[in-house]
């Protein structure tokens, strides 16, 4: 199954593309709010990657390089310093999950056997990418090419992957802290939106149920967020059967 949602309590500068063929794919981008053409930037990269995937070009390294050169042409005659976006994509080719991330976004992996823990256990595959001053270290833009971080996961059992823009963490303000017991231990408050999704996965049986879960997420959090928020969910075919069988 695959689904996604994008929402904001202001102007939404995020973009999302969902493909089911030729391979299941999620592409989400978060235009940088301080830039004039942030929405155009996120729209450009999501649509560009969508067309690359539709043409069965799954080489993400090359896709991002080509996107950069095409973006430079797209921005000609305009103030290029006013374009920029973060982006993350996940592709399920049936054998592996390929994830490419550029900028402040995240990817979470959930296995069915850990959903019923209290709190549920998940693996953060990609953490939000900011430096000590909460500034982006890299992002998609027409001035300087940054290589995306690319991961290839061979998953031997059922899985659920959640992709998010940084708005999903705006409630927590991305606060990290050192443990009082161990100064080398870094922790973050349990992310509320991710927790909401995981705790409600047990009610999902169909793709329509998954879409309803994301609508409920929006209804519950849209008044609390202070940033655009886009979330995509991709699961293996039998994830929810496996989830129900672990009760």
Sign of CA dihedral 199, 202, 206, 208: negative
19-37 pLDDT per residue, tens: 998 899 999 999 988 889 9
104-115 pLDDT per residue, tens: 888 989 888 888
71-85 pLDDT per residue, tens: 999 999 999 999 999
Instruction: Please compute the mean of the pLDDT values over residues 29-46 and round it to a whole number.
Output: 92
Residue 129 has a pLDDT of: 56
Averaged pLDDT score across all residues of the chain: 84
Domains of the chain: 2-166+228-238 (3.60.40.10)
87 versus 192: which is more confidently predicted? 87
Q: Which two tokens stand for residue 156?
A: 């031997």
Q: Any idea which of 111-125, 131-145, 153-167 has the lowest mean pLDDT?
A: 131-145
Q: Is the pLDDT of residue 176 over 60?
A: no
> Which ranges of the chain would DSSP assign to H, the alpha helix?
38-54, 60-74, 192-200, 207-221, 239-245
Residue 247 has a pLDDT of: 60
Residue 185 has a pLDDT of: 45
Instruction: Please compute the mean of the pLDDT values over residues 29-56 and round it to a whole number.
Output: 92
Instruction: Please compute the mean of the pLDDT values over residues 162-181 and round it to a whole number.
Output: 63
Residue 163 has a pLDDT of: 92
R_g (Cα) of the chain, nearest Å: 18
The answer to whether the beta carbons of residues 88 and 142 sit under 8 Å apart is: no
130 versus 64: which is more confidently predicted? 64
The angle subtended at Cα 233 by Cα 232 and Cα 236, nearest 5°, is 150
Q: Any idea which of 38-42, 136-140, 179-183, 223-227 has the lowest mean pLDDT?
A: 179-183
Residue 193 has a pLDDT of: 84
Q: Is the pLDDT of residue 140 over 80?
A: yes
Given pLDDT bands bounded at 50, 70 and 90, which one contains residue 189?
low
Question: Minimal CA–CA distance to 98: which of 148, 165, 140?
Answer: 148
Q: Is the pLDDT of residue 178 over 80?
A: no
């Amino acid at each position: 199954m695959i689904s996604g949602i994008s929402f904001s309590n202001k102007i939404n500068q995020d973009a999302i593309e969902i493909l089911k063929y030729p391979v299941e794919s999620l592409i989400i981008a978060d235009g940088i709010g301080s830039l004039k053409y942030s929405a155009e930037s996120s729209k450009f990269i999501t649509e560009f990657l969508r067309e690359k995937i539709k043409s069965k070009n799954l080489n993400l390294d090359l896709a991002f390089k080509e996107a950069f050169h095409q973006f430079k042409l797209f921005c000609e005659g305009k103030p290029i310093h006013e374009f920029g976006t973060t982006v993350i994509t996940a592709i399920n080719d049936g054998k592996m999950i390929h994830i490419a991330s550029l900028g402040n976004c995240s990817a979470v992996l959930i296995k069915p056997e850990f959903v019923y823990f209290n709190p549920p256990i998940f693996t953060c595959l990609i953490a939000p990418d900011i430096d000590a001053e909460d500034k982006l270290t890299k992002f998609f833009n027409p001035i300087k090419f940054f290589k995306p971080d690319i991961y290839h996961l061979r998953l031997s059992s059922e899985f659920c992957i959640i992709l998010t823009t940084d708005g999903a963490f705006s409630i927590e303000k991305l606060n990290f802290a050192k443990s009082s017991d161990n100064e080398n231990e870094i922790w973050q408050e349990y992310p509320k939106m991710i927790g909401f999704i995981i705790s409600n996965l047990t009610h999902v049986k169909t793709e329509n149920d998954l879409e309803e879960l994301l609508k409920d997420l929006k209804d519950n959090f849209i008044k609390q967020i202070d940033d655009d928020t886009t979330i995509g969910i991709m699961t293996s075919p039998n994830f929810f059967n496996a989830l129900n069988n672990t009760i």
